[in-house]
Amino acid sequence: MVSLGFLFLSKCSSMALGAAPALKENLLTKKDPLGYMDLPEGFRYKIIAKIGNKMDDGFLVPGRADGMGAFSGPDGKVILVINHENSPTPLYNSPFGKNNELLSKLDQSQIYDAGKGKRPGLGGTTTLVYNEETQEVEKHFLSLAGTYRNCAGGVTPWNSWLTCEEDVTIQAGLTEKDHGFVFEVPATEEIGLVEPTPIKAMGRFNHEAVCIDPKTGIVYQTEDRPDGLIYRYIPKVPGQLAEGGRLQALAVKDRPSLDTSNWKDRTLELRQSVEVYWIDLEDILSAEDKLRYEGFDKGAAAFARGEGMWFGNAELYFACTIGGPKQNGQVFRYIPSPDEGKEEEIQQAGKLQLFAESETKSILHCCDNLTIAPWGDVIICEDNGEVNHIRGINKNGQIYTFGINKSSTSEFAGLVFSPSGKTLFVNIQDNGETLAITGPWNKLA
């Protein structure tokens, strides 16, 4: 499968890469005798969390696990903060039981939107403490409650997780609060719920993922819309996002309101670098969900469903799920200006590059969450409702297959490496399961 993938890859990217080299045999996936997940030789998976299981705080593991962040815990343990992309219904995804009967255990102030006690938000996060040596879960608990559809997010350099609502429901009826915000959850092993405070200065829109440049503290954000924008949030105080800041949208120099999807016309070529600038936004809490229209009208570039985003070594990558001529997906690379966020950046602008694009499902089919491997490759989840893979893209833009979901047609989501690099955590969303994958990463690298 992977060798055939490289054959197609050379067709869709030969203008930039030339002929693709053959794959080493140890990267070929092997059939799982249990029919659950195919992985390369020597790699193995373990299910470490499952929907409906009782957690240490008495609540239940919610369904639809999505984005995740992994942090260093005490004694070498890993703290995972896990998103749950749940709306107020259906109730089988609820951490509060089949009829939300456990909701009464919480004070209403601990829930962002309690739905007047009748229709609470079932999104939010759980936190899991994992021992890599014993490969066992030591704690699991609810850490943010009452939000809607917490899809992706991002890790911060100060050991917290930014969780994003992919929902723009406004206050009405049983809905007590506006939605469409980012919330911060500390990475801690102490059981308890964080105060649910939205970071409104980061904008109200259909949030997907975020990442932070540790050098500047600037936050980058994707928007899961077919005509979404890429946003930049410059906090007044780096590391203190709730203190306010400037929200901007990415635009391409000399190409105002550029459609980057390549659906009708090829506006961007593979590996073509273009200079960007950033546009200030004003109506950042738009009740009508019109922020992207304001930005586009001012010249910001549009992206075809921006999803996963991760900051690597002085650069960031983000995925557009339905970008490309066949809508099979794109991956972009952004290199910030040496003077990113300052007036001087106009002299040496940041650069955007179409890093990868798929013209066939066998190469890449609807890329979603992504992360950067310890050896520098971009590792990507697929979300296509058919056969979903974990793909890798090396520095040359060549794509390979790492894992195949054989248990269902569900997407992979939230993949992230432990701080040690020994374990790759990933969710199979519709299965309601979180996995820990281990193996000879040095061979893959």
The DSSP code for 5 is H
Per-residue pLDDT reduced to its tens digit, 102-158? 999 999 899 999 999 999 999 999 999 999 999 999 999 999 999 999 999 999 999
**Position 25 pLDDT exceeds 50:** no
pLDDT value at residue 264: 93
- Condensed to tens digits (0 to 9), the pLDDT of residues 389-417 reads 999 999 888 899 999 999 999 999 999 99
Q: Is residue 22 predicted with pLDDT exceeding 70?
A: no
Q: What is the per-residue pLDDT across 239-298, written as a single tens digit (0 to 9) for each?
A: 999 999 999 999 999 999 999 999 999 999 999 999 999 999 999 999 999 999 999 999
Residue 190 has pLDDT above 90, yes or no: yes
**Span 342-359, pLDDT tens digits:** 999 999 999 999 999 998
The per-residue pLDDT of the chain, averaged, comes to 93
Residue 411 and residue 385: Cα distance in Å, rounded?
7
The upper half-sphere exposure of residue 98, i.e. CA atoms within 13 Å in the direction of its Cβ, equals 0
Per-residue buried b or exposed e for 349-364, using 16+ beta carbons within 10 Å of the residue's own CB: bbbbbbbbbbbbbbbb
Distance, in Å, from the CA atom of 245 to the CA atom of 237, rounded to the nearest integer, reads: 8
Looking at residue 444, its pLDDT comes to 85
The pLDDT score that the predictor gives to residue 21 is: 35
In angstroms, the Cα distances linking 275 to 10, 248, 317 are: 27, 16, 16
Q: Among residues 59, 58, 34, which one has the least CA distance to residue 47?
A: 34
- Shortest CA distance to 406 belongs to which of 425, 391, 428? 428
- Residue 259 has a CB neighbour count (10 Å cut-off) of 17
Predicted confidence band at 27 (pLDDT cuts at 50, 70, 90)?
Answer: low
Q: Are 187 and 154 contacting, i.e. CB atoms less than 8 angstroms apart?
A: no
- 93 neighbors 63 (Cβ within 8 angstroms): yes
**Which is the CATH superfamily of the domain at 2-444?**
TolB, C-terminal domain (2.120.10.30)
Give domain limits for the chain: 2-444
**Are 202 and 181 within 8 A, CB to CB?**
yes
